A and B are shown apart, each in its own frame.
Chain A
Amino acid sequence: MRKLLKDILMWGAIILGLVVIQSLITVTSFKLNLTILPVFYLGFKKGDLSGFSAGIGTGLIEDILSGYIIGPSILSKGLIGLFASLLNEKFFVWTYIMGIVSVFFITILDETIIYLSLSIFSHQPTMLSNFIMASVIKGLINSPFGGVIKKDEG
């Protein structure tokens, strides 16, 4: 119980720290997407429940602070947490290239879910061309992180 509480506090602080960094840094005219990294990590290493919970928590913070509707980030991050655990289960061999590619595509998936949710339920946040460019750049920035995630042996 104590370990669980310690883990929750530690990951909560990491996610909040990344939220702050994200709010401070702007690349050209868009924000980075760093919060996807702990969600992916927890889903991949600790399983579906951890990934799901981390995704919901992170998404809720992002949605509250965004000023738009509540839901897009919760949906995207929650799905990413579950998807990351599925990746760990389905691939018996995990190379660092697979990690890089996975994080790249997962970042784009996260961006796409948020973009579509906002476009359907609120308003189109930016033009499609900007969205594609921003998503690819964010994916490229995040992708090296995938190279350091290793699958647990056995």
Chain B
Amino acid sequence: MLNRRILLTIILLLSTLSLMVFQSTRKPFRPLPAIQNTIIHILDIFNKTYENIKAPFRTYSVMKEENLRLKKEIAELKLQIQKDEEIRLENKRLKNLLHVKEKGSSVVAIAKVVSSGLRKWPAIILINKGSKDGIKKDMAVRTSDGLVGKVTDVLPEFSRVLLLTDPSFSVSVRIQPSRIEGIVSGKGNGQCILKYILKEEKFEQGQLLVTSGLDGIFPEGIPVGYLDNIEGMDELFVTINVRPVIKINRLEEVMIIK
């Protein structure tokens, strides 16, 4: 009995460690898409059942269709307002020029969140749109409020989205009023940090951070978070805590943009 247990432990250790070493030197191993799709489909069925049970309580007397339409309308209007604010600031800086090239983004798809991730520290969500809907790896994901993350893995009918709160995520940002630029990364606890801000720069708590577009992945002007307290500093830079604009635990619908 003990020998069998030792043998199983050795087999388990050797196989999983070699699998993980292989993946760390190359790229994460993805099992057959069919297996992934099946499991995600089952998860989706459970999720839809849960949503259906919840729906009558949530929508109450408001018709579901009407609600969705209004939500979409609000989302589009919020997008427009944010874009206008960016353009207003841009206009202010470039008032001597006659023509300003608009840097907008277009919506590829609107997706529902199937699962808010199974990792112990929620940093990845599953959405119900995939390559069939035109989604590609590295596309930006947002809500009407602000940045959610980016697409890391695309299946035919589903995609995985890495949230901005993950430590491996980073996005080029600027502080909206002062235009100071830096990099926002996740902390892994639902919060983010702003890095590479020179010590002599002036900023205030509560100021809004928006994407700068300099990383070539995220379009310019998407709200990312609000400046919080200073976390630390070295000889050159300060690191500032950031409160994300979006509520990660309450994500329901997201927009995939390019």
Residues of A within 8 A of B (CB): 16-17, 19-20, 22-24, 26, 28-31, 33, 48-49, 52, 56, 61-62, 64-72, 74-75, 78-79, 82, 85-86, 89, 111, 114-115, 117, 120-127, 130-131, 134, 138
- Chain B residues with CB below 8 A from A130, complex form: 121, 187-189
Query: In the complex the two chains form, is A29's CB within 8 Å of B24's CB?
Result: no
- Chain B residues with CB below 8 A from A20, complex form: 43, 46-47, 50
Query: In the complex the two chains form, is A19's CB within 8 Å of B13's CB?
Result: no
Interface size class of B (residues with CB under 8 A): 35 or more
A29, A79, A82, A125: the one within 8 Å of B190 (CB): A29
Residues of B within 8 A of A (CB): 1, 4-5, 8-9, 12-13, 16-17, 19-21, 23-24, 28-29, 31, 35-36, 39-40, 42-43, 46-47, 50, 115-124, 126, 152-153, 160, 162, 165-168, 187-190, 248-249
Least Cβ distance of A123 to chain B in Å?
5
Query: In the complex the two chains form, is A122's CB within 8 Å of B24's CB?
Result: yes
| Bound CA–CA A27/B170 (angstroms) | 25
Query: In the complex the two chains form, is B188's CB within 8 Å of A24's CB?
Result: no
- Chain B residues with CB below 8 A from A48, complex form: 1, 4-5, 8
| Bound CA–CA A29/B28 (angstroms) | 25
22 A–B contacts from the bound complex (CB under 8 Å):
A23-B116, A24-B115, A26-B249, A29-B190, A31-B118, A31-B122, A49-B8, A67-B162, A68-B28, A69-B28, A70-B28, A71-B20, A72-B16, A74-B12, A74-B16, A75-B13, A75-B17, A78-B8, A78-B12, A121-B20, A121-B23, A126-B189
